[in-house]
Structure 1
């Protein structure tokens, strides 16, 4: 099928609830209009850091596809996150230990093995001139686009996942499940660095085609597979589905991004002096739990503080050890000392700037001024926190009830999904 022939549709809307029966009927109708018979089909699904009713979604997709296709594979879109263990996958897919095959007969479930060069296939290149155009002049380095082999060798790849405000791309979902979800680290780093150059403060929650989204769409367009998506807006904290869009990866995202911008952005009258972001256990390191800062930064007053309360977290990152060496700094700290930091993975530099937020750096004096204080209340020691330029708070000393009652303090349960902004 040509992209112009792909059906598209949307059910639900802001603060509505889509029932399981409505979801099933919608998926049946939409997939019934797509030629998947006898085809090799891949489902690109989120990892454990994204919340959505994945067991319900997988049951519906599996039921409506498995008897039609020649092969069905679910690829977990890790980006450069840690590979998921079997027991983690079982929990995410809603089955008991050893129950994946019985629950999803005929479907393989695999990690995106981004560390294994044999599992990545080059689908084309984007020139430096084109990168400069897409990034609006922020970067002019060419890129070889490498994508997960399962995806490239399939006939049809269907993204199945939620859409949220996002610190790198503006609104997540759609082609983002291909890049960075199932791409190589090099282009992931490049897109994240462009996002860092814009800053999370400016780009997060932005609808439409941001420079990072433009780069992602360009890279995804090189994938020879037919790219479709079932995008969802999921009510934060409950798992209820508010809206579902289907179509090409671009169209399904477009339909649901506008809903997410309404349902997942909360506007406050005055900026907060102190925020306590209570991080769910799906964020198992600071690399992912940093979303508790990203989603609150725009609503914090100058000189204010964000406390990331995650007593279960024991490390900054299992995968990206360079962050311990460079610590957390604002964008200009790296840009104005580029010769010193250009060899560091750009994705690590981007993560650093995203968590440290807006600030300035004077190259002559070496003085860095940061708008907001960031404090970790985790199992990470005071010595490590101070060495990476973050504040430390013993989680045992945190009285959430007292902080909730404290004037000027905002305690956020289930932090990391809803974006907070000050009313204009």
Structure 2
């Protein structure tokens, strides 16, 4: 995830800047066990960035050995709308198994988006091909809102008019069941979720994340069998 097309474009654009540049790249952490500066790299633009990115992959990503089939992703009260609490999904999706289930648990949350709610209720949450293959239907919607929709819904396919999400996503919030259905998301009653029943079950493929949205979760690449 270090070398991406966007990063390549940034580096290419920087080559057109005539003024010599020295990069100061900071890696900052804010976790329950560590807060502050994790590293500072000064030097050539690409080299300093590369060193900072390498450290960031160690400090900002939780690496797991295998994907989880069920995830209870708790969005803290600082996320007061689904527009921001959606990070509880897309920060965890890389560690979610095929056909798995992720529940965004946020009993305090009762708003999809104060600013963009009208559009989001109109289009719902869907996989990217759902929009691309029906572009004339959705081309009036701002791209940032479409991106938010696909990030929360996750990866999947859209074939012959049928959507096939890679995994299921449900809300356990104050947003009522009928609104979740309109949004094309599942519903779970937050009062019926016992957090203790989700804890310490990683070996069974169940993950509990008490403060989701800040750390990215990814599955380590496993060595190929000889």
Flag whether TM exceeds 0.5 (same fold): yes
> Aligned partners of 1:341, 1:215: CA distance in 2, in Å?
28
How does the TM-score come out when normalised to structure 1?
0.46
1:58-73 paired onto structure 2 within 5 Å: none
1:339 aligns with 2:139: no
- For each residue in 1:59-91, what CA deviation from the matched residue of structure 2 results, as whole angstroms up to 9, or x when unmatched? xxxxxxxxxxxxxxxxxxxxxxxxxxxxxxxxx
Q: Does 1:212 align with 2:14?
A: no
1:418 aligns with 2:215: yes
Instruction: Check 1:312–1:340 CA distance in 2 against 1; reply closer, same or farther (3 A cut).
Output: same
- The equivalent of 1:192 in structure 2 is none
Distance in 2 (alpha carbons) for counterparts of 1:311 and 1:408: 24
8 Å CA contact retained: 1:378, 1:394: yes
Q: CA deviation at 1:231?
A: 2.6
Give a deviation string over 1:134-187, Cα, whole Å, max 9, x none.
xxxxxxxxxxxxxxxxxxxxxxxxxxxxxxxxxxxxxxxxxxxxxxxxxxxxxx
Aligned to 2:192: 397
- Give the unaligned 5+ runs of structure 2: 222-226
- Deviation per CA, 1:74-132: give whole Å up to 9, x if none: xxxxxxxxxxxxxxxxxxxxxxxxxxxxxxxxxxxxxxxxxxxxxxxxxxxxxxxxxxx
Q: Specify the alignment match of 1:356 in structure 2.
A: 153
Task: Compare CA radii of gyration and give the structure with the larger one.
Answer: 1
Q: Which stretches in structure 1 are left out of the alignment for 5+ residues?
A: 1-205
Greater relative CO (CA pairs within 8 A, separation 6+): 2
**Residue in 2 aligned with 1:265?**
61
Q: Does 1:309 align with 2:128?
A: no
Q: Are 1:278 and 1:413, in contact at CA under 8 Å, matched by a contact in 2?
A: yes
For 1:213 and 1:292, the matched residues in 2 are separated by 25
Matched-pair contact (CA < 8 Å) for 2:27–2:55:
no
Aligned to 1:297: 93
Would you say 1:386 and 2:174 are equivalent positions? Answer: no
CA drift of 1:248 comes to 8.3
Q: Shift of the alpha carbon at 1:419?
A: 2.1
Task: For 1:244 and 1:421, locate their aligned partners in 2 and report how far apart those are by CA, in whole Å.
Answer: 22
- CA 1:373 to 1:250, structure 2 compared with 1: closer, same or farther past 3 Å? farther
Provide the rounded CA distance (Å) in 2 between the counterparts of 1:317 and 1:231. 32
Aligned to 2:83: 287
Deviation at 1:278, TM superposition (A): 1.3
1:269 Cα offset (Å): 2.7
**1:329 Cα deviation (Å)?**
0.5
The 3 A distance-change label for structure 1 pair 249 and 309 is farther
Return the offset for 1:375. 0.7
CA distance in 1, matches of 2:89, 2:34: 22
Partner-residue secondary structure (3-state), 1:303: strand
